[in-house]
Structure 1
Amino acid sequence: MRIIVQKFGGTSVASPEVRELVLKKIEKAREQEFHPVVVVSAMGRRGDCYATDTFINMARDTYKYIAPRELDHIMYCGEMISAVVMAGTLQAAGMDAIMLTGGQAGIITDGSFNHARILKCDPTRLFGLTKAGKIPVVCGFQGMTSEGEFTTLGRGGSDTTAAALGAALNAELVEIYTDVDGIMTADPRIVANAKILDCISYGEVCQLAHQGAKVIHPRAVEIAMQKNIPLVVKSTFSDAPGTLITNIGKEDADGTTVTDRVATGVTYLGNIVQIKIHLDEDISSDDSYKVFKTMADSGISVDLINVHPGEIMFTIDSDFAERAIAKLKRQGYDVEMVESCAKVSVVGGGMREVPGVMANFIEALSKKKIAILQTVDSHTSISVLVQKGDVEAAVKALHEKFGLCN
C-alpha cells in the first residue's frame, strides 16, 4: 500500500476557496494511487479568528500566567476546528474522510505541556482506516500522554506530526504544503533574485531551520531522516514541484551524480543580544562552568559561545536579557551587553575541507564595511554576529559572494 502524508499549513486551510485547492492536491494523490493521510494546522495566522495565537490571547485575557496544562487545552482547539472543516470539505466531495486528534492518530508524548516530545507513534488505527479506503484528517501539533492528558508539540509542531506519521506508516513521501513554492536560497524580501532550491539534504535544511529560515521545523526533518522518508516543501497555490529534502543524490541527464554545492543558502536570526563577561586574572578557572550553569538554571539558552582568558562571550534571545544580566550580576560578574544584534549564516553541505570559504565570507562583509562582533563555524555552516542594522546588507553580500543567485 502506497501511503503519502500531506500536511497543509494555516494559510492552506484558511478559507473555502483555498480548501478547494487542498481538495485538488488530495485528489491528485489518489489519482496517482496513493492512500493519503492528511495533517492540518489551525486556520490562518496571528489575528485570524481560529488561529492558535487568537485562542492563547483569549485565555490570557482572563489570566496572563495561565498554567501550561490548561493552555494546551485551548491550543488544541485551532487544529480540531480545522480538521473538522477539512474532513467536511472532503466528505462534501464524495470522499470517505474521518477527523482524528493527534492522540487518536496514535501520537504519544511525554508530559511537557506546550512543548511535548513524541515518545512513540502507533500507526495501527491509521493503517486500518487507509486499508478501508478512508482518508484520515489528523490534527497537527497535538499529542497525548499515556495517561490521557492533552499535549502540544511547540511551534511548527504540525510539521513534526506529519513527519512522525510518515515514519510510523513507512510513507513513500511526506508533502509539506505552505504558501511558498519551495525552500529558497535567501529571504526573498531581502534578496530579490533568491532562487528556489530543487533539492536539499536533510542536514542542510536542518541547519537552515536552526539558523533562522522559516522553512520547516528541524524536528520534522530529523524524524524523517531516521527512516529516510523523502520530504517535499511546496505550495498549495501553484503546481510548482517544490523542494525535495532527502539523502538520495540527484543525477544529471547523463546519469552522473551532481556534486554538493559549497553553499546552499543564507539565513539570519534577529532579536539577539551579546553578553560579555570580563574576568579578573585572579578569578578561578571554573568561571565558565558557573556562568553557563547559571544560564541553564535560569532556563536561558545560549549560542555563539567564545571563552578566552579574561573574557566569556555568548548570545541569548533579547527577551531573556534582563533576567540574564540580573542573575550574572548577582553572582558578582562584570557584565557588558551589546543590544540589537543579529546572527547571519551561510549553510552548505559542501563546505567541509574546502579552502577559502571563511576568507570569502569575511571578504564579502569587509567590502560592505560590516563589523563582525563574533564568529562560529562548523562543517556545514559559518555564522557571524552583526548589528541588526547590517542584516540586509550582510545577507545580500553573502548571497552574491557564494554565487547563490546564479
Structure 2
Amino acid sequence: MALYVQKFGGTSVGSVERIKAVAEKVKGFRDQGHQIVVVVSAMSGETNRLIEMASQINEEPTPREMDMLVSTGEQVTISLLAMALHQLGVKATSYTGAQIGIRTDSAHTRARIQQIETDELRADLDEGKVVVVAGFQGVDSEGNITTLGRGGSDTTGVALAAALKADECQIYTDVDGVYTTDPRVCAKARRLESITVEEMLEMASLGSKVLQIRAVEFAGKYNVPLRVLSSFEDGPGTLITADEEISNMEEPLISGIAFNNNEAKLTVLSTPDVPGVASRILGPISDANIEVDMIVQNVAPTGGYTDFTFTVAKNDFRQTQRILQEQVIPSLGGGEVRGDDKIAKVSLVGVGMRSHAGVASRMFRVLADEGINIRMVSTSEIKISVVIDEKFLELAVRSLHTAFGLDKADVSEEH
C-alpha cells in the first residue's frame, strides 16, 4: 500500500462529467489499497470569471477581499468531487485549505506556505477515507483566507506530499508529461520519460507552464518524487527526479527549450555609477513584492553614469513603472525610465551544459541566422536565456529545437 497525493488541475475538473471521471480514477487507486489525498483546482475558467466580476466593481480591489473571492472556486470543486466519490461508494471528506490546516504568511494573492497540520488528515486516511483538499489556498495567523498565486494548487499538492512523506505526488493535467518544448509552438516536441528536479526548476522558472516553480522547489527541497500525468489518457507521464545520471556525456545535452512572453523590460537611464544604486532601484520594487528576473547594468556613454535594465512579469509592468517614476527617480536625483512590454524570453535548459563549451555561441549563431536580435543574455550552469522581440518567439523556439537535435525521435528520454 502506498500513499499518493494526486492533484487535478482546472481542465481536469472542468465539468461535472470530468469530475466524475476523476472520481473513477481515484476509486481505482483506492480499490488497490492505496491511501489517497486529492488536491483540486477551481473548474477551468472559474477563477477568471470571479476576477472579472471583481473588476466590474473595483479595478483595484483589496488583496484580502480578492483572496476571499477567488478561494471559493476550489470550494465548489472539492465538494462536487467528494459527492462523486460518495456516489461510487468511496468514503471521502472535503476540506478547504484553512480547514486542513495549511498555514501561510499574510502576503495576500501570493502567500507562502509555512506549516501544514496533518493530524486530522492522517486520521481520515487511517479510516480509509479519500481526503479531498482545496488547492491554491491557506490561512494566515490571523485567520484570513490567503491564496498562493496562479498555479498554487501544484504547490499545495507537493507541500502536502512533503508533509505526509507520500510515496509520490502525481500532477494530473491536460498534457501527458513534460515536453522538450511546448507542442503548440513546435509540433516536433517530444515527451521526456524523466527530467531532473534541477532542470525542471529551470524550466518552470523560465516560463514552462507544466508546473509552478514553487511546487518544483518543494519537491527538490523535501525530495518528493513528482510525476506529471495526463488526466485524459493512460501513460507513464514524466518523472521528475533528483537523479542526474546522463547516459551520454560526449554531446551537450539540452533537455528542453522554455519560453515566456509574459515579461516586460524596464531601463533606468543615466543612473549614478556609485555603490548602492542597484539597491536603491530594486529595493522599492522588492518592497512591493514584485519579482525581478534578468538584470543587466551597462556603462553609459557619459562618464560616471550607468544604464540599469531588468525584467518583471508583464502584469507588474505598470506598477513597476510607477514605482520607478514616483520613488526611485527622485531618490537618484534624476534619470529617465524606458519600458518595453513586447518582449519574450527563450531559454535552453540541460545539465549537460556543465561539461560542454560552445552551447551559447551555437545558440547565438542560430538566432542570428534567422535575423533575431538579442536584447539581454543570462546564463547559469544549466541554462542560457535570451530576451528577444516577442514577434520572433515561435521562430526562435522552432529553430533552436531543430538546431539542438530535439526534433529527433530518439531525443534523450532516459535521463
1:160 aligns with 2:162: no
Between the aligned partners of 2:130 and 2:265, the Cα distance in structure 1 is: 49
Report what 2:281 is aligned to: 291
How far did 1:338 drift? Answer: 4.2
CA contact (8 A) 2:103 2:138 kept: yes
3-state SS in 2 of match to 1:207: helix
Cα deviation 1:258-279 (Å, max 9, x = unaligned): 3577211112111433333443
3-state SS in 1 of match to 2:190: coil
How far did 1:283 drift? Answer: 5.2
Q: Mind listing any 5+ residue stretches in structure 2 that lack a counterpart?
A: 301-306, 409-415
AA in 1 matched with 2:7: K
Report what 1:276 is aligned to: 267
Q: What TM-score comes out, normalization by structure 1 length?
A: 0.91
3-state SS in 2 of match to 1:5: strand
Report what 1:366 is aligned to: 368
Report what 2:379 is aligned to: 377
CA contact (8 A) 2:158 2:215 kept: yes
The one of 345, 348, 357 aligned to 1:346? 348
Query: Alignment identity in percent?
Result: 39
How far did 1:297 drift? Answer: 4.6
1:323 aligns with 2:322: yes
3-state SS in 1 of match to 2:97: coil
How far did 1:339 drift? Answer: 4.7
Cα deviation 1:294-321 (Å, max 9, x = unaligned): 5435554333212232232222334424
CA contact (8 A) 2:27 2:85 kept: no
The structure-2 alpha-carbon separation of the partners of 1:78 and 1:393, relative to structure 1 and needing over 3 Å to count, comes to same
How far did 1:53 drift? Answer: 2.0
3-state SS in 1 of match to 2:291: coil
AA in 1 matched with 2:264: V
CA contact (8 A) 1:41 1:82 kept: yes
Report what 2:97 is aligned to: 102
Cα deviation 1:211-250 (Å, max 9, x = unaligned): 1110111111111222211111111100021111111367
AA in 2 matched with 1:304: M
Between the aligned partners of 1:240 and 1:119, the Cα distance in structure 2 is: 34
Please, what is the CA RMSD of the aligned residues? 2.1
3-state SS in 2 of match to 1:350: helix
Between the aligned partners of 2:165 and 2:100, the Cα distance in structure 1 is: 15
The structure-2 alpha-carbon separation of the partners of 1:317 and 1:10, relative to structure 1 and needing over 3 Å to count, comes to closer
Q: Which moved more, 1:386-395 or 1:109-118?
A: 109-118
The one of 71, 78, 81 aligned to 1:76? 71
Between the aligned partners of 1:121 and 1:339, the Cα distance in structure 2 is: 38
The structure-2 alpha-carbon separation of the partners of 1:63 and 1:137, relative to structure 1 and needing over 3 Å to count, comes to same
Cα deviation 1:67-126 (Å, max 9, x = unaligned): 222222111211111000000000000001111111222211122222211111111111
3-state SS in 1 of match to 2:392: helix
Q: Mind listing any 5+ residue stretches in structure 1 that lack a counterpart?
A: 46-50, 251-256
CA contact (8 A) 2:281 2:324 kept: no
CA contact (8 A) 2:197 2:242 kept: yes
1:146 aligns with 2:137: no
3-state SS in 2 of match to 1:355: coil
CA contact (8 A) 1:194 1:404 kept: yes
Report what 2:131 is aligned to: 136
Counterparts of 1:150-189 in structure 2 under 5 Å?
Answer: 150-189=145-184
Report what 1:306 is aligned to: 296
Cα deviation 1:345-396 (Å, max 9, x = unaligned): 1111221131111121112111112111111100111001111111111111
AA in 1 matched with 2:297: V
3-state SS in 2 of match to 1:11: coil
Q: What TM-score comes out, normalization by structure 2 length?
A: 0.89
The structure-2 alpha-carbon separation of the partners of 1:219 and 1:294, relative to structure 1 and needing over 3 Å to count, comes to closer
CA contact (8 A) 1:5 1:162 kept: yes
1:20 aligns with 2:20: yes
Between the aligned partners of 1:318 and 1:128, the Cα distance in structure 2 is: 44
AA in 1 matched with 2:4: I
The structure-2 alpha-carbon separation of the partners of 1:305 and 1:271, relative to structure 1 and needing over 3 Å to count, comes to same
The structure-2 alpha-carbon separation of the partners of 1:128 and 1:338, relative to structure 1 and needing over 3 Å to count, comes to closer
Cα deviation 1:153-182 (Å, max 9, x = unaligned): 111111111111101111001111111111
AA in 1 matched with 2:358: G
The structure-2 alpha-carbon separation of the partners of 1:119 and 1:364, relative to structure 1 and needing over 3 Å to count, comes to same
How far did 1:40 drift? Answer: 0.8
Between the aligned partners of 2:290 and 2:103, the Cα distance in structure 1 is: 27
Cα deviation 1:310-347 (Å, max 9, x = unaligned): 23222233442442563455441134444511111111
How far did 1:284 drift? Answer: 3.8
Between the aligned partners of 1:293 and 1:316, the Cα distance in structure 2 is: 14
Q: Which moved more, 1:219-228 or 1:238-247?
A: 219-228
Report what 2:224 is aligned to: 229
AA in 1 matched with 2:167: E
AA in 2 matched with 1:10: G
CA contact (8 A) 2:19 2:80 kept: no
The one of 264, 267, 270 aligned to 2:258? 267
Between the aligned partners of 1:164 and 1:341, the Cα distance in structure 2 is: 33
Report what 1:405 is aligned to: 407
